[in-house]
C-alpha cells in the first residue's frame, strides 16, 4: 500500500466518523437552542382573601393581601425578581411543592371551609415548560382543616399533607397525569395538649400560638422514603410513621413519637444532607434541637438544644422556618418579632454554634428559601408584604442584603424551578 492510498483510506474513515457525529452535534445544538432563554422561575404562595370571580370559594380566615400564587422570573446574576403573572386563588395557597421533573406544582389551600364543606383542599397544576405558567388540573380535599404544609414523597407517587387546624395528616396519591386522587390515609393526632408557657421560652416571653388544640404543622419523608415524620405543635411531639409505598398507608413506628419540652411547640424540621442529623425548630420555645437519626430503625435521639436568638434577648418571639444549607455547613433559623434569621455553623458531629443573625428587612419572616445555586436566600416577610433578597457567603454562612425587594401580599412560601435544566 502506498502513501497516497493510505491517506485516502484515512480520509474516508475520518469522514465516516464525522458524519456519524453530525447528528449528535446537531442534537446537542438543538437541545441547547430549546433551553436557551428559558427562565429561572419562582413561585410564591400567599395568604389570600376570597376573590369575587371565584364563586365556589368560601374561607374562614382573616383577610389576606395575596392574590393567589405569584410567579416571578429570577435574574440569574443579581437574584432580582421580575413579576411574571399570578395564578389567582382566594384560598390561601400557603405552601407549595414542585415535582422532581418540574412538570407539576401542588399547593395547600389553607382554609377552614370550601363552599359548604368544612375542610381544606389541595390543588394540582401543570407547569408550562416554556414560560413557567400554571394550568389547574384538579382540587381535592386535604383530609382536614387548614392544610399548612405539603411535601412530595421520594417515590413521586404521593403528596404528604399536614392539616394545621384539623390536627391531622393525610396521604394523597398522585395520578399518572399529575392530578390528585382521594386520600389513601388520614391520621388524627391526639393526646394531652402542652402548656401555654414554653419551658425554654426567653425571659419575659408571652409567645403563645398553638397550645390550644392539636396542630400538625409539617410532614415529610426521610431521604429513603421508608419513614414519614410529622410534628404536632400543640402536643409538643414529633411523630414517626412507617410508610407503605404500595398502599399509601402510614403505620406507627416503634416508638411512634418523640417528645419535645412542654410548651416549646415543634414547628418545622430539616434533614442534614448526610441523612444522619435532623434539626427541629420550636415556635414558642425559640430553640433548635439536634437529633441523631437512625435511618434503619426510623428513630430520633436528641443531642443538643440551642436558642435561635442572640445572647441576652428578652421578650416574645415566634420561630418560623429552618433550613440547612445545600453544602451542610450552616443552619438558618427564622425569628418572628425579633425579625431575624439566625445563622449557625454545623460542627463535625452536627452540633450547632451561633454565628450571627441578619435582620430580614421586614416584619414577621414566615419562611425563606435558597435559589437552586445556593447563592441567594429569599425571605418572605409576611406582614411587610415583601420578599427580601440576600446574598449568601458560602464560607462564613452570613447574609448580605442585596437592596432588592419583591412586592407580594402576605408571602408564605417560595419554591424555584429552573426551566433551562428541564428538557
In a domain, 33, yes or no: no
Give CA–CA dist 17/240, Å, rounded.
58
- Decide if pLDDT at 61 tops 70: no
> Does residue 8 form part of some domain?
no
In this predicted model, what pLDDT tens digit does every residue of 315-327 receive, in sequence order? 999 999 999 999 9
Domain assignment of residue 9, yes or no: no
Mean pLDDT, rounded, of the chain:
90
Place of cell 419572616: 365
Look at residue 8 in the predicted model and tell me its pLDDT: 45
Rounded to whole angstroms, the Cα distance separating 32 from 35 reads: 5
| Residue appearing with cell numbers 437574584 | 79
Number of domains in the chain: 1
pLDDT score of 119: 80
Domain membership of residue 16 (yes or no) is no
Residue 178, domain CATH: 2.130.10.10
* Residue 107, domain extent: 40-418
Name the E strands within 233-315: 237-244, 249-259, 266-271, 277-282, 287-294, 299-307
Q: What's the pTM?
A: 0.90
Residue 6: left if φ>0, alpha if ψ -120 to 50, beta else—which one?
alpha
**Residue 2 belongs to some domain of the structure:** no
Is 423 a domain residue? no
pLDDT in tens, 224-245: 999 999 999 999 999 999 999 9
DSSP run (H or E) holding 85: strand 81-88
Q: What is the mean pLDDT of residues 159-182?
A: 97
Is residue 328 assigned to a domain? yes
Q: Is residue 158 part of a domain?
A: yes
Amino acid at each position: 500500500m502506498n502513501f497516497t492510498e493510505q491517506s485516502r483510506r484515512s480520509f474516508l474513515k475520518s469522514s465516516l466518523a464525522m458524519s456519524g457525529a453530525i447528528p449528535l452535534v446537531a442534537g446537542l445544538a438543538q437541545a441547547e437552542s430549546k433551553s436557551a432563554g428559558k427562565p429561572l422561575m419562582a413561585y410564591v404562595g400567599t395568604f389570600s382573601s376570597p376573590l369575587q370571580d371565584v364563586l365556589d370559594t368560601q374561607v374562614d380566615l382573616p383577610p389576606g393581601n395575596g392574590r393567589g400564587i405569584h410567579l416571578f422570573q429570577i435574574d440569574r446574576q443579581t437574584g432580582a425578581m421580575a413579576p411574571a403573572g399570578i395564578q389567582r386563588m382566594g384560598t390561601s395557597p400557603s405552601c407549595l411543592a414542585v415535582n422532581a421533573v418540574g412538570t407539576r406544582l401542588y399547593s395547600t389551600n389553607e382554609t377552614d371551609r370550601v363552599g359548604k364543606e368544612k375542610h381544606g383542599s389541595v390543588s394540582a397544576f401543570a407547569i408550562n415548560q416554556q414560560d413557567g405558567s400554571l394550568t389547574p388540573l384538579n382540587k381535592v380535599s386535604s383530609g382536614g382543616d387548614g392544610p399548612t404544609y405539603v411535601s412530595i414523597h421520594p417515590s413521586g407517587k404521593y403528596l404528604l399533607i399536614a392539616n394545621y387546624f384539623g390536627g391531622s395528616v393525610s396521604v394523597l396519591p398522585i395520578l399518572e397525569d399529575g392530578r390528585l386522587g382521594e386520600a389513601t390515609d388520614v391520621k388524627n393526632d391526639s393526646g394531652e395538649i402542652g402548656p401555654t408557657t414554653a419551658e425554654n421560652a426567653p425571659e419575659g416571653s408571652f409567645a403563645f400560638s398553638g397550645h390550644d388544640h392539636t396542630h400538625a404543622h409539617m410532614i415529610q419523608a426521610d431521604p429513603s422514603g421508608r419513614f414519614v415524620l410529622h410534628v404536632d405543635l400543640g402536643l409538643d411531639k414529633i411523630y414517626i410513621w412507617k410508610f407503605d409505598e404500595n398502599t399509601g398507608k402510614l403505620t406507627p413506628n416503634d416508638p411512634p413519637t418523640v417528645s419535645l419540652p412542654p410548651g416549646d411547640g415543634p414547628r418545622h424540621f430539616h434533614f442534614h444532607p448526610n441523612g444522619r442529623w435532623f434539626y427541629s425548630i420550636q415556635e414558642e420555645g425559640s430553640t433548635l434541637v439536634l437529633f441523631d437519626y437512625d435511618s434503619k430503625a426510623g428513630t430520633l435521639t436528641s443531642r443538643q438544644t440551642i436558642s435561635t436568638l442572640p445572647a441576652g434577648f428578652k421578650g416574645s418571639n415566634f420561630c418560623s422556618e429552618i433550613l440547612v444549607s445545600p453544602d451542610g455547613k450552616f443552619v438558618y433559623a427564622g425569628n418572628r418579632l425579633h425579625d431575624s434569621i439566625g445563622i449557625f455553623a454545623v460542627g463535625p458531629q452536627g452540633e450547632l454554634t451561633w454565628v450571627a443573625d441578619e435582620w430580614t428587612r421586614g416584619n414577621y419572616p414566615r419562611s425563606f428559601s435558597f435559589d437552586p445555586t445556593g447563592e441567594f436566600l429569599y425571605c418572605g416577610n409576611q406582614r411587610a408584604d415583601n420578599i427580601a433578597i440576600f446574598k449568601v457567603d458560602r464560607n462564613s454562612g452570613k447574609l448580605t442584603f442585596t437592596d432588592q425587594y419583591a412586592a407580594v401580599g402576605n408571602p408564605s412560601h417560595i419554591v424555584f424551578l429552573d426551566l433551562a435544566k428541564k428538557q
